[in-house]
Structure 1
Amino acid sequence: MAPPTPATRCLRVEGANIVDAEGKQVILKGCATGGHTNMENFITGYPGHESEMRKAMLEVLGQEKYDFFFDKFLEYFFTSSDARFLASLGLNCIRIPINYHHFLDDLNPSVIKKEGFKLIDRIVNACAAEGLYTILDMHTFPGGQNQGWHSDTGIHKALFWDFKVFQDGMTELWVEIAKHYKGNTWVAGYNPMNEPADPNHTALQAWYQRVEKAIREVDPDHILFLDGNTYAMDFTGFKEVLPNCVYAIHDYASFGFPAGEPYVGSPEQKEALQKSYERKVEFMKERGVPIWNGEFGPVYASPEDPNHGKINQQRYDLLGQQLKIYKKDEISWSIWLYKDIGFQGMVHASPDSPYIRLLKPFLDKKMRLGVDKWFAIPLGRDDSAVKHIYEPVIAHFKESILPEHVNKRYPQVWKIEGHIHRVLRETLMSEILCWEYASYFEGKTLEELDALAASFKLENCVKREGLNEILRKDAEGKD
């Protein structure tokens, strides 16, 4: 079927709805291409942060092979075949997470790299050819907009909020992006910042006001999709509604992770899902503005787990219940994740692919060490190999800090345990392990590097049919 003719104007906000040129409500349903133009450690298996990994890869490969491998990776990870597949499921909008390094060099931040536009244009155009809208999501920021490893800073603080020069630079970058995509009706809008975590709950509001005004001066039409604070889960500091803006939550459920209670669909569990969702969207419902759930979705058990069939059915049931909640409120959503190495994606690299075969020993070690703390637990692995190391450290901190101060550090929801793991495992240990990861690529020929990158081509991947069928049925309006 040929894609629809592009609209004569951009999607826009009208009351609590997103509407098209004719004023008809549009509910955006899709997924994110995470791991592509913003690489993440659990998605492709490296340790730590993308920038650290890339530096180690450059040291091992040299400039020519480094450029070749990553160019091929970016080429193969998302093509017209991927867009066609996603459209075949009835999805209508793809979120594109972007690492700011594709546009800015930290040593020359005043110059915007044109290569970044070529990279994102290719994805936007491939999706448009299949009738898919896109949302451009800035996933990383200089200094870090949050304390997480996925902000690609290599540190455990969000320094973006403390440096005006960072805020100036990213505002200017968004102005250039808005100039470039002005009038492109297949771009549903801009997601200026992924998962902000502003400890004071005021700097975020000030930057949103500033970037919204700056974008509107060059592109008055595109919607802005604004994440809540503290990883898109907290709107208590939001005081006003900006024009033509959709407000975004991230709605992960603990039932979707082995560390959480298995989902059996009990009335109590359904009520807990509903309450968690209602807490996050209270601001939007009170103000009568549209809601976008920019990320959600469980992780899935490996076929190596003897109970993987039962576990994954529970996860599918959980996902189905979440979609029922969203359907009732007619909100837009984007599931996390499209493609990875086998934990959460709609498709994943085959266990027999050159990439997985090469890195299997390292991936096993990475899991054994639990360096990606949240990542180890979803796989059903415990900390048995390192528990005796970290538990005394946590106990030492708790014994040494006054009880009323133990959990003062923002975000408080992490508690002292989370902050310790963030620094020791996900920052220090992971950073050093980057060289071991890179060492697996040492001495590879261009042909071998091409085959490794091609492991992420859609035709070489495995489709998670149970997940995809749920998304297809929802798109078709079936329960």
Structure 2
Amino acid sequence: MTLHLDKFVQVSGEDFKVNGEKIVFRGFGLGSWMNLEHFMIGLPGTDTMIKNAFAEVYGEERSHAFFDRFLLEFVDEKDFEFLKKIGVNSLRIPFNYKYFIDDQHPNHYKNEGFAYLDHIVALCEKYEIYAILDLHSVPGGQNPDWHCDTNSGLPLFWEYGALRDSVIGLWGHIAHYYKDQPWIAAYDIVNEPSMVTNANVFNEFYDKVITEIRKYDQHHIIFIEGNKFTTDFTMIDPIDDPQVAYEFHFYPFVDEPAVLTPEMDRARRIEIFKDAFEQLVSIREKYKRPLWCGELGLVFEKEQIDFQMTIIEDMLDLCEANDVSWALWTYKDAATMGIVYPREETPWRQLTEEIKQVWNQHKEQEKGEALVDYMAETYFKPISIEQRYPLQFRMRTIMQVICVEQILKPYLQKRTWEEIYELPESFHWDQCEHWSELADLIVKYTKA
């Protein structure tokens, strides 16, 4: 087979190029597809907890059939026609390691994950949209939060070399499989590392992953993410590999919640965004490589959508002004952060709106902190903010177990298997609507 290198996206100085022509990635993440996220999909629990609940209620075989259907019907040709229409040129594809690694037999890879990835990659190729493969969950968890499917609230991935070795081998396996596919632009090694305390471990992991990938694949870009949910790059040494680039995520309202209020003057909000963004973009001086903002976005509310579009516009303007590629989080979900979402009357929304009456995902961190404080003050002494922050993640994993047992399972048990099996249809394009305001804004940048 002849490999046409001119079709691969490549790193060239501080730019991405295809056949010598500069390209800026402008696109979306396909969040909550191959790695369920509770607040986006509307079901409490981590990816594994949710799937185990389905298996306990309906049986392993039916649970597998349900999620197979979900994965193959979540997006289709009409979604890609829409993406193409608004000028999107890239799609970040998150996936859970469990589609490839059996925890009981970590050295024998499963290949079911390729069936699902191939489904999307084939559509990317057909519509000439670049795919970026994002390992969103690794054994033990790369950060303490639910979106890496941790059941401990601890980033154990960075504590055990054996866990890292399994992922190093997995990336070699994936690279060998996709080495000749030019419509895959890059490999995003691990999503949002956090609470990494050992710089040697961090750098050694990236070095070993790159070495393993390059045994099979010399051409695909490799994205490196920083610590503290990929906002802190102080630990990461520059890497010599010519096809390495760097990725950060931009959620400035985490530290400054007031920017999400209409009362704040827009000029002041832009100033806060600019200061936060410039700190992240400063890593270009350190690495002399192109940058990608692999995630930015917010939870959309119908009553505030016009105001919220100004927030998205202010963030995207910073990316464009600083020559930074970007991906909005996310493309489709159960009416949370997605530009596309099922209509209110669809069965999926009916189920999740019912669950919302007793489970509010946005209060999880607040409740976790309150429970840690209660425990400390009742049985020990009050603890510091520094101690409370990591402990609330561990408390939230306990809360998630309870929510699955007391909320998710009972709501599933109220529905027949036939009703449940039809749920994925709610994500079909003709069952969905989209934020036209966001679509129009994106066209401003893609000039579709």
Structure 2 length-normalised TM: 0.92
Distance in 1 separating the partners of 2:209 and 2:251: 27
TM-superposed deviation, 1:363: 1.7
The reply to whether residue 41 of structure 1 matches residue 22 of structure 2 is: no
AA aligned to 2:315 is Q
Q: How does 1:53-92 map to 2 (within 5 A)?
A: 53-92=50-89
Deviations along 1:292-318, whole A, 9 cap, x unmatched? 0000112212x4xxxx1xx32222101
Say if 2:9 and 2:182, in contact at 8 Å, map to a contact too: yes
Q: Which of 298, 306, 319 lines up with 1:326 in the alignment?
A: 319
1:347 alignment partner in structure 2: 340
- CA change 1:261–1:461 in 2 (3 A) is closer
TM-superposed deviation, 1:440: 2.2
1:427 alignment partner in structure 2: 397
Q: Which of 406, 414, 419 lines up with 1:448 in the alignment?
A: 419
The reply to whether residue 141 of structure 1 matches residue 134 of structure 2 is: no
AA aligned to 1:428 is I
TM-superposed deviation, 1:7: 6.9
TM-superposed deviation, 1:261: 4.8
- CA change 1:261–1:97 in 2 (3 A) is closer
Decide which moves more: 253-262 or 356-365: 253-262
1:27 alignment partner in structure 2: 24
**Structure 2 unaligned residues grouped into runs of 5+:** none
AA aligned to 2:397 is T
Deviations along 1:396-426, whole A, 9 cap, x unmatched? 2898257xxx2445xxxxxx2x4343233x2
Q: Which of 213, 221, 238 lines up with 2:219 in the alignment?
A: 221
Distance in 2 separating the partners of 1:472 and 1:397: 55
Residue-pair matches, total: 441
The reply to whether residue 468 of structure 1 matches residue 435 of structure 2 is: no
Say if 1:225 and 1:245, in contact at 8 Å, map to a contact too: yes
- CA change 1:262–1:358 in 2 (3 A) is closer
The reply to whether residue 285 of structure 1 matches residue 277 of structure 2 is: no
- CA change 1:61–1:256 in 2 (3 A) is farther
Deviations along 1:4-37, whole A, 9 cap, x unmatched? xx9744111010000112x111101100111101
The reply to whether residue 16 of structure 1 matches residue 8 of structure 2 is: no
2:234 alignment partner in structure 1: 236
AA aligned to 1:214 is E
Distance in 2 separating the partners of 1:147 and 1:199: 13
Identity %: 29
TM-superposed deviation, 1:201: 3.4
Distance in 2 separating the partners of 1:399 and 1:259: 33
- CA change 1:366–1:446 in 2 (3 A) is closer
TM-superposed deviation, 1:467: 1.4
Say if 1:348 and 1:463, in contact at 8 Å, map to a contact too: yes
2:158 alignment partner in structure 1: 161
CA RMSD of aligned residues (A): 2.5
1:248 alignment partner in structure 2: 247
Deviations along 1:248-273, whole A, 9 cap, x unmatched? 01001218996655255533321211
